[in-house]
């Protein structure tokens, strides 16, 4: 008889893609395993009009899934790592991260060939303050507007003329088969991605050793190490991931290089670091302290 593993997920198209991706990977790695997908609707899905900052940050996309884990109604929960808050409920944690898709931000427009070619005053839509602040440094002449809804809804708003361009994640568009809508993939140095962007993570109960063992077979170590380095910045700043904080790590030979950004409309700070892989977390802590020394704590608390 097959072993059953219950997987909790949001019910959006992208979340279901991620859930089915993890289901396929686990069942391929463990032929006697059957993964049952449990779709759930979160507060972030129910309220598509309020800005994320008003709802309490992107953690609204994961809270209900975590309750299902804690109550034993699910064995694992699948998340976009960029939506996962820096702190977990006691007893839960990320047990595995799948290989990362393209982490860059995507510029999408039906009229401009690139971000730099948008005309003065053009309306640029994004739900991410991180993206808006970084791009505004380069193009302060644009009108930066909030846009909510799933990927398809945002694209429809663009096509209906509510915006001249929108910014989404390259990874999400590719996973939904919408890669042809990408006008330009933005250089990650121009718009540093959110910690974990493009990576799918699997949360579990930390005392559930049989499940942790199953998950270890699909953990992508390079991605896990880079995302852990990025998340160390969010953790060190004590930030929920609705704040305008960016952290992006890449492997360069045996080293991990880290780029970070913290900003508000008043001020922005960028710090970078590099270390051998085994020292990457210590390096991320040092970079975080440099951010704090330059005033990041005041930005994130008052931003």
What is the structure's pLDDT at 45? 47
Instruction: Specify the number of domains making up the chain.
Output: 3
Q: Is residue 192 part of a domain?
A: no
CA distances from 200 to 91, 95, 142 (A): 20, 11, 32
Q: Is residue 68 located within the same domain as residue 212?
A: yes
pLDDT at 148: 86
Query: In this structure, what CATH number is given to the domain that contains residue 181?
Result: 3.40.190.10
- Considering the domain architecture, whether residues 264 and 172 belong to the same structural domain is answered as no
pLDDT at residue number 165: 98
My answer on whether 262 and 210 are in the same domain is no
**What pLDDT is stored for residue 241 in this prediction?**
39
Is residue 287 located within the same domain as residue 243? yes
The SS3 call for residue 73 is coil
Both 24 and 81 in a single domain? yes
Q: Is residue 193 a part of any domain in this protein?
A: no
User: What is the CATH number for 294?
Assistant: 3.30.160.40
One domain, residues 166 and 276? no
Q: Is residue 32, in this structure, part of any structural domain at all?
A: yes
Residues with a catalytic annotation lie at 83
Range of the domain at 148: 105-185
Reduce the secondary structure of 98-116 to three states and give it as a string. Answer: CCCCCCCEEEECCCCCCHH
User: Same domain for 142 and 78?
Assistant: no
State the pLDDT at residue 133. Answer: 93
Same domain for 88 and 211: yes
- The pTM for the full model equals 0.88
Instruction: Report the pLDDT value the prediction gives residue 300, as an integer from 0 to 100.
Output: 54
Residue 277 pLDDT: 96
User: HSE (CB half, 13 Å, CA atoms) of 21?
Assistant: 23
pLDDT of residue 149: 87
* Residue 191 within any structural domain of the chain: no
Per-residue confidence (pLDDT) for residue 168, from 0 to 100? 96
Of 130, 162, 185, the domain-final residue: 185
* Distance of alpha carbon 193 from alpha carbon 285, whole angstroms: 18
Residue 190 placed within a domain: no
At 283, which helix (H) or strand (E)? Answer: helix 280-293
Asked if 157 and 175 sit in the same domain, the reply is: yes
Q: Provide the edge-to-edge strand list for the sheet that holds 268-276.
A: 245-252, 255-263, 268-276
206 lies in the same domain as 94: yes
Tell me: do 88 and 234 sit in the same domain: no
Question: Token pair of 29, please?
Answer: 């790695």
**46 lies in a domain?**
yes
**Close Cβ partners of 76 (under 8 Å, ≥ 6 residues apart):** 5, 6, 7, 8, 22, 69, 95, 202, 203, 204, 211, 215
The Cβ-side half-sphere exposure at 4, using a 13 Å CA radius, reads 8
pLDDT in tens, 46-72: 444 544 444 344 456 688 899 999 999
pLDDT at 43: 56
Instruction: Enumerate residue ranges in the chain where pLDDT < 70.
Output: 42-61, 239-243, 299-303
Same domain, 233 and 294: yes
């Amino acid at each position: 008889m097959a072993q059953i593993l219950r997987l909790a997920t949001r019910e959006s198209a992208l979340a279901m893609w991620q859930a089915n991706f993890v289901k396929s990977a686990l069942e391929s790695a463990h032929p006697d395993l059957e993964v049952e997908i449990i779709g759930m609707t979160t507060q972030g899905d129910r309220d598509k009009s309020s800005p994320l900052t008003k709802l309490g940050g992107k953690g609204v996309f994961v809270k209900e899934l975590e309750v299902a884990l804690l109550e034993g109604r699910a064995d694992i929960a699948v998340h976009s790592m960029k939506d996962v808050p820096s702190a977990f409920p006691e007893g839960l944690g990320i047990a595995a991260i799948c290989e990362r898709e393209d982490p860059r931000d995507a510029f999408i427009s039906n009229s401009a060939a690139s971000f730099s070619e948008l005309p003065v005053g053009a309306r640029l839509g994004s739900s991410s303050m991180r993206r808006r602040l970084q791009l505004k440094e380069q193009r302060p002449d644009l009108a930066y507007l909030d846009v909510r809804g799933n990927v398809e809804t945002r694209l429809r708003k663009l096509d209906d003329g509510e915006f001249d361009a929108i910014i989404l994640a390259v990874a999400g568009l590719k996973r939904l088969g919408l890669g042809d809508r990408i006008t330009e993939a933005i250089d990650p140095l121009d718009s540093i991605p959110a910690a974990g962007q493009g990576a799918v993570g699997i949360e579990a109960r930390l005392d559930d050793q049989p499940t942790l063992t199953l998950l270890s077979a699909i953990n992508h170590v390079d991605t896990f190490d880079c995302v852990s380095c990025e998340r160390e910045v969010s953790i060190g700043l004590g930030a929920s991931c609705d704040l305008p904080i960016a952290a992006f790590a890449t492997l360069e030979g045996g080293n991990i290089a880290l780029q970070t950004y913290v900003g508000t409309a008043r001020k922005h700070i960028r710090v970078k670091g590099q270390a051998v892989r085994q020292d990457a977390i210590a390096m991320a802590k040092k970079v975080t302290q440099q951010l704090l020394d330059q005033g990041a704590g005041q930005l994130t608390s008052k931003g």
